[in-house]
Structure 1
Amino acid sequence: MNTDWCGEAAAVVTLTFDVDAETPILARGRRYAGHASTMSHQAYGPDVGLPRILDLLDDLDVPATFFVPGWVAEHRPGLAGSIVERGHEVAHHSYSHRPPTSMTFREERDDFARTLEVFSGQGIEITGYRAALWEATWRTAGLVAEYGLLYDSSLMGDDRPYRLPTEHGEIVELPVHWSLDDWEQYAYLPEPHVGSVIESPTKVLEMWCAELDGMRHYRSLFNLCAHPFLSGRPGRALALRRFVEYALACGDVRFARCRDVARAAAADPGLARRPHRAPEADPEIYPR
């Protein structure tokens, strides 16, 4: 098993935060802009949760990556820059937070390019991409390569980085998984329905520590996905802090920004290369 990409560490942790703000709700329908309570629930993320998380990262001296939709960066000028100033990475998370699987390829391309224009105008370097809701199409990775980005972080084909071939060249995939997403643990709204279970932060902390132990055993990438409007709330922020403290105390875990892991993975000659193509789905067996 080749693990040059992780160096001497037993596991690498990428703390990633999807700074979605209002976008995932507006993507369900612009009528929700009129729901004051719902919009305030989402605005809590950039307004309260994000500063709390940035302070937490400063206290613990660990780097992170923040996936920011272009709409959020455009409507909150200075937000992306404030993240970079703290030593963290800002990455592409669509413009509108509409999942690629809900769009035509032209719509997906336009949404992708519009985000890059926003960040270019703000002087923010973009190296990686994450699809909204992790709902990439088979064309998405090709867009990432075509626009010169290094990595994607939307797929689930491994628990270590891997090479992903596309028609526009090869990129690095930094895989994700639902078990390492705070949305599955904490997200709740009566309308639109985004989740219906609010778990105890104590349970979430236990689950993430157990997963990290497994990844230390198998020398994997612990790619945590958290959202400031969820994990930025007080009890959950403390659980996140305790997780980071646990990982640091292990002594064999390295924290890194996604772009740094992707660069190490791209330079690793032994990194696995996974095929990227849709399975054959016979319409006589699998009707639409």
Structure 2
Amino acid sequence: MAQGKLERTGFWPGDARLVISISMQFEAGAQPERGASGPFPPLDPKYPDLPMQTWYDYGVKEGIPRMLDLWDRVGVKVTSHMVGQAVDRHPQLAREIVERGHEAAGHGQTWEPQFSMTPAQERAGYLASIASIERATGTRPIGFNAFWLRGTPNTLGILQELGFVYHIDDISRDEPFTVPVNGKPFMVVPYTLRNNDIVRYDSPALTVDAYLADLKAEFDLLYQEAGRRRRMMSISTHDRISGTPARVRALETFIRYAQSHPGVRFMRKDEIARFALTAPGVPRS
């Protein structure tokens, strides 16, 4: 290999070459009775959308249980961003997620977007979310994901004051980095739109085979780049979307493909955040 192109190591724990982090969004049960988004044509909100509710129900009845079995089969631990109201309605499922080794992270208390909230409303919502997750799982969340990534200029300061360590509402890098909040570093573990089922499967033309091909192509280049710099691949799954039989099969095929490469490690986002807070060479924005 030519001088200057020598591969380096030490970017990740255990000398891993590339880290992959998977989100499993737990939202079913928090959706509004009227006006929730989904695969059906919009319905006048003066009427309850009964079939739309069953689409969300699939997430807790079939989707998450099927994905939990997948994570067990392939030996992968994930981060589950949980809406507090969904946890309140399905506490046993939230508890099972944690008991099977996965991270419980915050995703707000209700379906209400954060971007238009006052600081007092944000704080109250995050405190309620913390309480819901702690009550069901016995763990306190340290990671956060806003509704469609849209927080406010106050969000990070409030999260920091409440003991959160990281958020994921940033898609500007393929590696973790910090931002200053009240003079202290706050971790960003970047999210993804391109490897995100709720974005990609919105197109009826996207088959599971096409999504699998995209995941492999993304992995291949990041794996190549990871010989010279810290690289992280993020994948986002949602309970009612990726938990279908065909999509779980595609995810399993991809994970086993990634695991066939030396130096690939799957990590929860809290593990990434805690490591990156003190690791050398982490970008400081």
TM category (shorter chain) comes to: 0.7 to 0.9
1:250 maps onto 2:257 in alignment: no
**So what's the TM-score if we normalise by structure 2?**
0.86
**Deviation per CA, 1:149-202, whole angstroms, max 9, x where unpaired?**
111111122110001211273221001121011111224xxxxxxxx5352000
**So what's the TM-score if we normalise by structure 1?**
0.85
Q: Structure 1: which amino acid aligns with 2:89?
A: H
**2-side partners of 1:242 and 1:42: how far apart?**
25
**2-side partners of 1:121 and 1:33: how far apart?**
33
Q: Percent identity?
A: 28
1:263 maps onto 2:274 in alignment: yes
Which residue does the alignment assign to 1:71?
85
* Cα RMSD, aligned residues only: 2.2
Q: How many angstroms does 1:4 deviate by?
A: 3.1
Q: Which moved more, 1:61-70 or 1:111-120?
A: 111-120
The alignment of Structure 1 onto Structure 2 pairs a total of residues equal to 266
Classify 1:2/1:147 alpha carbon distance in 2 versus 1 (closer, same or farther; 3 Å).
Answer: farther
Q: Which ranges in structure 2 are unaligned for 5 or more consecutive residues?
A: 1-7, 37-43
Check conservation: 2:34, 2:46, Cα contact below 8 A. Answer: no
Which residue does the alignment assign to 2:19?
12
Correspondence for 1:210 among 217, 234, 238: 217
Q: Which ranges in structure 1 are unaligned for 5 or more consecutive residues?
A: 188-195, 275-288
1:125 maps onto 2:140 in alignment: yes
**1-side partners of 2:51 and 2:148: how far apart?**
22
Q: Which moved more, 1:21-30 or 1:240-249?
A: 21-30
Matches within 5 A, 1:192-231: 197=204, 199-219=206-226, 220-231=231-242
Check conservation: 2:29, 2:85, Cα contact below 8 A. Answer: no
Q: How many angstroms does 1:121 deviate by?
A: 2.4
More helix, by proportion:
1
Which residue does the alignment assign to 1:135?
150
Check conservation: 1:2, 1:270, Cα contact below 8 A. Answer: no
Which residue does the alignment assign to 1:281?
none
Which residue does the alignment assign to 1:113?
127
**1-side partners of 2:34 and 2:232: how far apart?**
30
Q: Which moved more, 1:47-56 or 1:24-33?
A: 24-33
Correspondence for 1:58 among 45, 66, 72: 72
**1-side partners of 2:74 and 2:174: how far apart?**
25
Q: How many angstroms does 1:103 deviate by?
A: 2.3
**Deviation per CA, 1:207-229, whole angstroms, max 9, x where unpaired?**
11111112212231111111120
Which residue does the alignment assign to 1:162?
177
Q: Which moved more, 1:6-15 or 1:253-262?
A: 6-15
Check conservation: 1:145, 1:168, Cα contact below 8 A. Answer: no
Which residue does the alignment assign to 1:241?
252
Q: What SS does the corresponding residue of 2:174 show, helix, strand or coil?
A: coil
**1-side partners of 2:171 and 2:156: how far apart?**
13
